[in-house]
Amino acid sequence: MKIPVDNAAAIGKVVRASRKVQKIRQDDAAGSIGVSENFLGKIERGSDAVQWGKLFQVLDGLGIRVWVDVPESVGAYLHDPANNKDRS
């Protein structure tokens, strides 16, 4: 199911719902994923100040996959070998 996400609170709701549906307590989920309970709580509350790497670790740990829906022109740019060189 696709859920629109336009802010941190929306991701937090998805993370919390995913954990609840799996009937996992917050402390158990945090421990099995490898993050602190405090960090998982910040995500679930929609904090804007979380580390990207850890956020994706939590999403993966709960089975949440993230896709970005971009315009066709962006997809074409990303797939053009001329644009895949390491430059800023």
Q: For residue range 8-45, what is the model confidence (pLDDT) as tens digits?
A: 999 999 999 999 999 999 999 999 999 999 999 999 99
In a 13 Å sphere around the CA of 55, the CA atoms on its Cβ side amount to: 17
- Alpha-carbon distance of 88 to 73, in angstroms, equals 19
Model confidence band, residue 87 (pLDDT cutoffs 50, 70, 90): low
Q: What is the number of other CB atoms lying within 10 angstroms of the CB of residue 84?
A: 10
49 token code pair? 């100040």
Cβ neighbors of 75 (< 8 A, separation 6 or more) are none
